């Protein structure tokens, strides 16, 4: 008969024992006296005891109530301790933290991300690694703590993405060449592959083809330094996120319909979206890019 006892009713039992008045308990709970009386009736049915005898001035606990009250208090306190969200202190975190970043961003952002996270988690074993074909699986297994990449609508449903910042795809050439679209559109183009984002679908190509524009992608690489070296030494063009531009490159004045925004995002397994560790890591990474925007 005890297995279906409502824990909230046990809390009401404690209050009635303390105050010996349904009216006082109803005020404390913000309920009507009738509602508290119904709770007491339900408890009597579930526990098989009258629990309190009504005297002239108050409700007096029965022998059964006096016997079980100390144990119920211990039980409820134990449950509260188990359910209590403990404060999270990055300084005391000593476990492993693995951050996956695509190689196209690691060279630009990897060092700062590493240093900022290490400063907040000085006692953790921190690794910043390249995002590769196994990263999504490792996120699901908890082997990668958090990933950062461009937003991907094709991500698995058990991976949770959170927006960090918005960037724009641009076309760049080496300085010294004309940056007018009519002079550039027939050049060979570099396609920069980034595993986990456009290795299966090149979204920018899909975008411009919908606009009736077809470019010649004669070069395909997955290394940003190689792409830049090819660009600087050949009369070719390169489509890339604007954050990856450098002073020795020049932006092409391309048609408005070719422009496309892309969104940098973090990825964690869905069950970790509210984990204090992951929330702290997200806050650190966001602060880096907020400072960049300013």
Q: Which two tokens stand for residue 113?
A: 């991300």
- Is 1 a domain residue? no
Token reading at 122: 């000085």
Tell me what pLDDT residue 1 has. 45
Measured between alpha carbons, how far is 223 from 192 in angstroms, rounded to an integer? 7
Place of tokens 């039992």: 13
Same domain, 142 and 171: no
Beta strand 96-101 with 146-150: parallel, antiparallel or unpaired?
A: parallel
Distances in Å between the Cα of 292 and the Cα atoms of 109, 126, 158, 189, 259 are 11, 23, 30, 29, 22
Bridge-based pairing of strands 59-61 and 237-241 is: unpaired
Q: What are phi and psi of 161, to 5 degrees?
A: -105, 140
- Considering the domain boundaries, does residue 286 fall inside one? yes
Shared domain for 125 and 269, answered yes or no, is yes
Residue 49: strand, helix, or coil = coil
Asked if residue 178 belongs to a domain, the reply is: yes
- Full DSSP string of 254-282: --GGG-EEEEEEEEEEGGGTT-HHHHHHH
In a domain, 230, yes or no: yes
- Residues 42 and 105 reside in one and the same domain: no
Q: Do 278 and 146 lie in a common domain?
A: yes
**Same structural domain, 211 and 223:** yes
Q: Token pair of 67, please?
A: 């016997």
CA atoms of 274 and 276, how far apart (whole Å)? 6
User: What's the pLDDT score for residue 2?
Assistant: 52
Please tell me whether residues 194 and 230 are part of one structural domain: yes
Identify whether 22 is part of a domain: yes
Q: Is residue 197 part of a domain?
A: yes
Full domain range(s) for residue 76: 7-83
The answer to whether 267 and 160 are in contact (CB under 8 A) is yes
- Tell me the sheet residues that pair with 188: 216
In a domain, 2, yes or no: no
Q: The CATH number of the domain where 133 resides is what?
A: 3.40.190.10
Domain total for the chain? 3
Q: What is the pLDDT along the chain (294 residues), one digit of tens a residue?
A: 455 778 888 999 999 999 998 989 899 888 999 999 999 999 998 888 999 998 877 889 999 999 999 999 888 888 877 776 667 899 999 999 999 999 888 888 899 999 999 999 999 999 999 999 899 999 988 899 999 999 988 888 889 999 999 999 999 999 988 889 999 999 999 998 888 887 778 888 888 899 899 999 999 998 889 999 999 999 999 999 998 888 999 999 988 888 889 899 999 999 998 899 999 999 999 999 886 655
Q: Is residue 265 left, alpha or beta, with left meaning phi > 0 and alpha meaning psi from -120 to 50? A: beta
Regarding whether 106 and 65 lie in a shared domain, the answer is no
Q: Of 66, 83, 100, which residue is a domain's last?
A: 83
Contacts with 294 (C-beta within 8 Å, 6 or more apart), sequence order: none
- CATH code assigned at 257: 3.40.190.290
3-state class of 176 per DSSP?
coil
96 plus 229 within the same structural domain = no
Question: The domain spanning residue 70 has which CATH number?
Answer: 1.10.10.10
Q: Are residues 48 and 174 in the same domain?
A: no
Question: Does 197 lie in the same domain as 115?
Answer: no
Q: Write down which residue in 83, 107, 136 finishes a domain.
A: 83
- Whether 253 and 283 map to the same domain: the answer is no
* Same domain flag for 146 and 223: no
């Amino acid at each position: 008969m005890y297995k279906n006892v409502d824990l909230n009713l046990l809390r009401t039992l404690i209050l009635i024992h303390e105050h010996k008045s349904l009216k006082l308990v109803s005020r404390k709970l913000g309920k009507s006296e009738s509602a508290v009386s119904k709770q007491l009736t339900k408890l009597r049915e579930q526990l098989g005891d009258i629990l309190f005898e009504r005297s002239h001035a108050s409700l007096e606990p029965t022998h059964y109530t006096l016997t079980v009250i100390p144990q119920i208090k211990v039980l409820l306190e134990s449950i509260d301790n188990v359910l209590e969200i403990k404060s999270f202190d990055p300084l005391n975190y000593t476990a492993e933290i693995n951050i996956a970043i695509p190689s196209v961003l690691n060279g630009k952002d990897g060092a700062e991300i590493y240093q900022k996270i290490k400063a907040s988690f000085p006692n953790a074993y921190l690794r910043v690694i390249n995002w590769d074909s196994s990263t999504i699986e490792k996120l699901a297994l908890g082997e990668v703590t958090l990933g950062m990449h461009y937003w991907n609508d094709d991500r698995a449903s058990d991976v949770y993405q959170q927006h960090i910042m918005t960037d724009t795809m641009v076309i760049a050439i080496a300085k010294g060449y004309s940056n007018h679209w009519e002079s550039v559109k027939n050049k060979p183009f570099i396609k920069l592959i980034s595993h986990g984002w456009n290795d299966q679908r090149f979204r920018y190509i899909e975008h411009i083809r919908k606009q009736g524009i077809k470019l010649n992608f004669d070069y395909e690489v997955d290394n940003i330094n190689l792409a830049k070296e090819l660009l600087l030494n050949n009369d070719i063009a390169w489509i890339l996120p604007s954050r990856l531009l450098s002073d020795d490159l020049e932006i092409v004045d391309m048609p408005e319909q070719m422009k496309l925004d892309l969104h940098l995002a973090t990825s964690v397994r869905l069950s970790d979206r509210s984990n204090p560790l992951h929330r702290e890591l997200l806050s650190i990474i966001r602060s880096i890019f907020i400072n960049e925007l300013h």
